[in-house]
């Protein structure tokens, strides 16, 4: 199926929704900025690819899923306002407009996130998924492109229903005896759960697997199973365990390693059972690793070209194409991309990556907190450590600066408290002595 094309700017759908510029492109739709002329409010308009819109069975499923998604009233889920079909055949959804960008935009700018920030993101994603799961709705395509980050740092999950409708349409139209339509998988290969690849099954644990992959990527800057061949990537999900994030980036707390591995077990029966289990495990990680709630960085810049960049979104994957490549016994090691230097904030702009104590703000070049290399990993093939002749990386040294600043801050507070107590004691002693010296 060819990539969907943008709708004509300035056109009005059903006499109510004006279509403006492109916000994003996916495998099955294009998202435009729009305006609800009746209520005079900005909206996002997701317009389906015309090939899908011409399939009556798909449109029926899409409308059914849209109605289900519209009932998901939660601040962590992008609201569905309306759905419709224009007389010219355009099928569309009207959504809440989230000013900001996607989690993918954040990763492009930051490279990877501080563990506390990464945990904050996935907690909000799983909280939104729990609401959908309780209503019997499985997302099936959790990925950074489907997680929106507002300018205020709010996190919202988008695209409930669209993938489910396409999945059912693909399943119904596939003939197992036909090599052209037999073994197909719908989803984004980097985040597919093994059961999606092998037999197309998807339940709440499928969403948790994808969320675990997202957490791995937030921590390391790379997906655990990468590559240019989507068939090979899908097979790695089936045959190769997701490694602990600390095997790629040194210093990630072991508690986060355990959370990622529990969420991405290849066997659904040994995976985290549901969103409640994921959230309980995440709370345990916060306590074990001393990771405070950390604000999520909104995308700092997003040009029109960025908004219109095609995404590697949902697609049909032919698993019969070519002979299988033997699975890797160890994942490819990759160095995550470094964050690009960011412009200095305006006077009234608060740095997103500052701790709650202004004295503890990071002063490193990239402006985000590194991982603390406090304990060696138990991995039999540990990641390479920085040698004495290697360039100094702020990821390896800035945590020591933070610790020293915190220690100095605690020492100053203790000294101030002790001096205050001494002063109070002297005043009290003087007052008592003066009182005893008065004539009777």
Active site residues: 141
CB 53 within 8 A of CB 59: yes
How many Cα atoms occupy the beta-carbon half-sphere of 388 within 13 Å?
Answer: 0
Selection from 260, 261, 263, 256 nearest residue 290 by Cα: 256
406-414 long-range contacts (CB < 8 A, ≥24 apart) are 406/357, 406/360, 409/357, 409/359, 409/360
318: β partners:
184
Phi, then psi, of 63 in degrees rounded to 5? -65, -40
- Which one-letter DSSP state was computed for residue 310? B
**Residue in 49, 37, 42, 34 with CA at minimum distance from that of residue 2:** 49
For 93, the 3-state DSSP assignment is strand
Report which DSSP code applies to 24: E
DSSP state of 245: G
DSSP letter string, 163-217? HHHHHHHHHHH--TT-TTTSSEEEE-GGG--HHHHHH----HHHHHHHHHHHHHH
Phi-psi region of 187 (alpha: psi -120 to 50; beta: other; left: phi over 0): left
Nearest to residue 33, comparing CAs of 90, 104, 101? 101
φ, ψ (nearest 5 deg) of residue 346: -65, 170
CA atoms in the 13 A half-sphere facing the CB of 271: 25
User: Which positions ≥6 away from 321 have C-beta within 8 Å?
Assistant: 231
CA distances from 88 to 51, 91, 344, 361 (A): 13, 9, 48, 55
């Amino acid at each position: 199926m060819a990539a969907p094309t943008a709708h004509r700017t300035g056109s009005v759908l059903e006499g109510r929704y004006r279509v403006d510029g492109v916000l994003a492109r996916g495998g099955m739709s294009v998202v435009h900025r729009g305006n609800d002329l009746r209520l005079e409010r900005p909206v996002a308009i997701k317009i389906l690819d015309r090939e899908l819109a011409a399939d009556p069975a798909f449109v029926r499923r899409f409308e059914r899923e849209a109605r289900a998604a519209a009932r998901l009233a939660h601040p962590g889920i992008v609201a569905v306002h309306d759905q419709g079909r224009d007389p010219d055949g355009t099928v569309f959804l009207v959504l809440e407009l989230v000013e900001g960008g996607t989690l993918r935009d954040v990763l492009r700018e930051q490279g990877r996130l501080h563990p506390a920030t990464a945990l904050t993101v996935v907690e909000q994603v799983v909280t939104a998924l729990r609401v959908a799961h309780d209503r019997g709705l499985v997302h099936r395509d959790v990925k950074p492109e489907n997680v929106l980050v507002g300018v205020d740092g709010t996190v919202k999950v988008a695209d409930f229903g669209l993938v489910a409708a396409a999945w059912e349409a693909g399943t119904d139209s596939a003939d197992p005896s036909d090599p052209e339509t037999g073994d197909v998988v719908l989803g984004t290969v980097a985040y597919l759960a093994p059961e999606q690849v092998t037999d197309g099954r998807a339940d709440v644990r499928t969403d948790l697997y994808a969320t675990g992959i997202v957490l791995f990527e937030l921590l390391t800057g790379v997906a655990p199973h990468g590559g240019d061949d989507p068939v090979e990537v899908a097979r790695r999900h089936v045959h190769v365990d997701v490694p602990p994030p600390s095997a790629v980036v040194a210093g990630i707390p072991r508690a986060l390693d355990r959370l990622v591995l529990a969420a991405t077990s290849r066997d659904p029966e040994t995976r985290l059972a549901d969103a409640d289990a994921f959230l309980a495990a995440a709370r345990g990680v916060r306590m074990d690793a001393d990771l405070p709630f950390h604000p999520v960085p909104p995308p700092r810049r997003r040009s029109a070209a960025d908004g219109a960049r095609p995404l590697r979104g949902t697609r049909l994957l032919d698993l019969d194409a070519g002979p299988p490549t033997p699975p890797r016994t160890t994942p490819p090691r990759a160095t995550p991309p470094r964050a690009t230097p960011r412009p200095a904030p305006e006077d009234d702009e608060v740095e997103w990556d500052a701790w709650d104590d202004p004295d503890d703000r990071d002063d490193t070049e990239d402006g985000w907190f590194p991982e603390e290399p406090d304990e060696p990993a138990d991995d039999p093939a540990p990641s390479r450590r920085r040698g004495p002749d290697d360039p100094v990386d702020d990821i390896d040294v800035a945590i020591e600066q933070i610790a020293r600043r915190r220690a100095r801050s605690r020492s100053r507070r203790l000294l101030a408290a002790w001096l205050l107590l001494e002063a109070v004691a002297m005043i009290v002693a003087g007052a008592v002595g003066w009182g005893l010296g008065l004539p009777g």
